[in-house]
Amino acid sequence: MKELETLPEIIVGKQASGSSSMHFGSAFGMAGGIGALGRSMSTATESQNHTSYSLIIFFSKKVYETRRAYNLEKSWLGRVFNKCTGIAPYYVLLSGHHLVQCMHVLHEISSDKDIPPDAKCGIRIDVAQKVLKELEKNYRAKTT
């Protein structure tokens, strides 16, 4: 298994190790008909603005999915499973739009000009877990 510290914290504009599960609807695009519906739903989800609460739910699902893939990476059967499902074991895969939204909530960036909304982005799993904790902490501070 790779040491996480040797990998970049954030990848923007290229495929993180493993196929993207973000374009599930696009996989049906070749079939036509219902595929167009799946493709449009996938695109709509990637560009949707979230409330603070729904961003936490969305991001925690992504972190859970990636943590599971990371743990599966320890065995050869788990690596085969990860390859078949296309989940990246080291990076939480997000669209550029969602990455920018997370960073805005955490006040990490002031301008999103460097990250196109349709870019494929990845946040290293250990960094993503810290981001999730910060999102939850910010949400709790606003609601109390």
Q: Poorest-confidence range of 31-40, 64-73, 129-138?
A: 31-40
Which pLDDT does position 112 carry in this prediction? 56
Average pLDDT, the chain: 76
Under 8 Å between Cβ of 121 and 94? yes
Which pLDDT does position 48 carry in this prediction? 67
Which pLDDT does position 99 carry in this prediction? 85
Closest CA to 104 of 124, 96, 42, 118: 96
Q: Poorest-confidence range of 15-24, 55-64, 92-101, 119-128?
A: 15-24
Q: Give residue-wise pLDDT tens across range 119-142.
A: 888 889 998 999 899 889 988 988
Higher pLDDT, 99 or 110: 99
Under 8 Å between Cβ of 53 and 140? no
DSSP secondary-structure letter at 90?
Answer: S
- Does the pTM of the predicted model rise above 0.85? no
Phi, psi (5° rounding) for residue 124? -55, 140
Helix (H) or strand (E) holding 127: helix 125-143
Q: Burial level of 138, CB count in 10 A (0-12/13-18/19+)?
A: middle
What are the C-alpha distances in Å from 99 to residues 33, 37, 49, 73?
31, 25, 11, 25
